[in-house]
Chain A
Amino acid sequence: SQTIHQWPATLVQPVGSPLSLECTVEGTSNPNLYWYRQAAGRGLQLLFYSVGIGQISSEVPQNLSASRPQDRQFILSSKKLLLSDSGFYLCAWSGGRSTDTQYFGPGTRLTVL
């Protein structure tokens, strides 16, 4: 069966510090991978998605970047965090077809102070 892992679960970082969040998927190959951010009490904002290794599409301009160094690994990074980067970050995967379900990881709660 497929599983998706995210770490860390929670993170408190000072403004201006770097960020690296990791997401890995097991039990499937060539998944579509997604990074979302969810502000408190709000909906999901799609940040990045990837349909293959090294293929990253950005949905919103920001100081975040994403990379997919391996088929089932998706990394969200920042060189310098802003206060506005605080939020709940969710990684998800799907098969890429319109009828495919998205499977979400447990999320990372990021607080930038």
Chain B
Amino acid sequence: SQQGEEDPQALSIQEGENATMNCSYKTSINNLQWYRQNSGRGLVHLILIRSNEREKHSGRLRVTLDTSKKSSSLLITASRAADTASYFCATENVSGGSYIPTFGRGTSLIVHP
């Protein structure tokens, strides 16, 4: 079942601008992860934020988590053309004692040079 849902579905910005993507989920989580996918490639892990954290940074990435609203946001500052990709949030479902990641539909980001 779909747990995380990203919005917007598509985002088009100019190089140097900031890009913000949001993720909403339905059930309680232990952590939330963001991934990036270049066109026609596999996903690459970007950052993990735990449920007891409110904000986390990694380079030009800033992730926030609001567990009361069941939402997270990914901010890419000073975007570059190379940031063009799809971005997914993933939350975990527990099944048979295993943690099974569930991905949203993703946000397609295009950064124009």
Knowing A57-B95, A96-B98, A100-B99 are in contact, say whether A43-B42 is a contact too (CB < 8 A).
no
A residues in contact with B41, CB < 8 Å: 106-107
B residues in contact with A7, CB < 8 Å: none
Residues of B within 8 Å of A, CB-based: how many?
29
Residues 26-71 of B at the A interface (beta carbon under 8 Å): 30-31, 33, 35, 40-45, 48, 50
Are B99 and A98 closer than 8 Å at their CB atoms?
Answer: yes
- Minimal Cβ-Cβ distance residue in A for B35: A102
Contact of B31 among A90, A99, A107 (CB under 8 A): A99
Are B88 and A94 closer than 8 Å at their CB atoms?
Answer: no
Residues 43-87 of A at the B interface (beta carbon under 8 Å): 43-44, 46, 49, 51, 57
Q: Render B54-98 as a binary contact track against A, CB cut-off 8 A, 1 for contact.
A: 000000000000000000000000000000000010101011101
B residues in contact with A105, CB < 8 Å: 42
- Minimal Cβ-Cβ distance residue in A for B92: A98
B residues in contact with A106, CB < 8 Å: 41-42
Nearest-neighbour CB distance to chain B for A78, whole angstroms, equals 21
Are A103 and B88 closer than 8 Å at their CB atoms?
Answer: no
- The complex places the Cα of A19 from the Cα of B112 at a distance, in Å, of 39
Nearest-neighbour CB distance to chain B for A86, whole angstroms, equals 14
Nearest-neighbour CB distance to chain B for A12, whole angstroms, equals 16
- The complex places the Cα of A107 from the Cα of B44 at a distance, in Å, of 12
Q: Does B101 contact A (CB under 8 A)?
A: yes
A residues in contact with B2, CB < 8 Å: 43
Knowing A51-B96, A57-B96, A98-B92 are in contact, say whether A44-B103 is a contact too (CB < 8 A).
yes
A residues near B (Cβ < 8 Å) are: 32, 34, 36, 41-44, 46, 49, 51, 57, 88, 90, 92, 94, 96-107, 109
Complex A-B: 11 CB contacts under 8 Å: A42-B105, A42-B106, A44-B43, A44-B103, A46-B100, A46-B102, A49-B100, A88-B40, A90-B42, A101-B45, A105-B42
